[in-house]
Amino acid sequence: MSSALHNLSDYDFNQVPQANQMRFGIVVSEWNPAITGALLEGAVNTLKRHGAQEENIIVKTVPGSFELTFGSHCLIESGQVDAVIALGCVIRGDTPHFDYVCMGATQGIAQLNATSQVPVIFGLITTNNLAQAEERAGGKLGNKGDECAVTAIKMVDFFWSLKK
């Protein structure tokens, strides 16, 4: 569903499992810091609202969105997390760089999801302009960070339910 039709921060709190025993890694891009900082704040606050302990939330930064895959992989390999949330923002420019970065990050995160037992949540905002990014980072369309945190909790719960 398009975020233009659905507020990213709207969800039924009671449909999200408790996260008090879960461990999360968040990899956040330093590029477009006003946007990625807002995404990070949304994700951390939502995890805590659902019981995640501060000491069970590891936040690491990477230079740009292309590096989200490597950062996520490193967190998985550390064995310290049950899910990884990858947060970044790429805004279209005048060159095809946007396409390469978006495709590389998308394929990399998809590959991690297909090959590891730790879910990696895709929190990469890809927009045509800064205003669209702001709308998705706490603006009128909500905060993609909130949505990613809820998804991470639900995916950990999903994986754990298969182990029972």
pLDDT tens digits, one per residue of 39-86: 999 999 999 999 999 999 999 999 999 999 999 999 999 999 999 999
Q: Which 8-state DSSP code applies to residue 66? A: G
| 163 — pLDDT class (breaks 50, 70, 90) | confident
Residue 5 has pLDDT above 80, yes or no: no
Domain 21-163 falls under CATH 3.30.230.10: no
Catalytic residues: 97
Domain ranges within the chain, ordered by starting residue: 21-163
- What mean pLDDT is predicted for residues 151-159? 97
Residue 1 has pLDDT above 50, yes or no: no
Q: Which two tokens stand for residue 2?
A: 């398009």
For position 96, what pLDDT does the model report? 78
Residue 107 has pLDDT above 60, yes or no: yes
Burial of 68 (0-12, 13-18, 19+ CB in 10 A): buried
Look at 71-80, 88-97, 109-118, 129-138 and tell me which has the smallest mean pLDDT: 88-97
CA distances to 2, 39, 136, 142, 147 from 6, in Å:
7, 17, 11, 9, 11
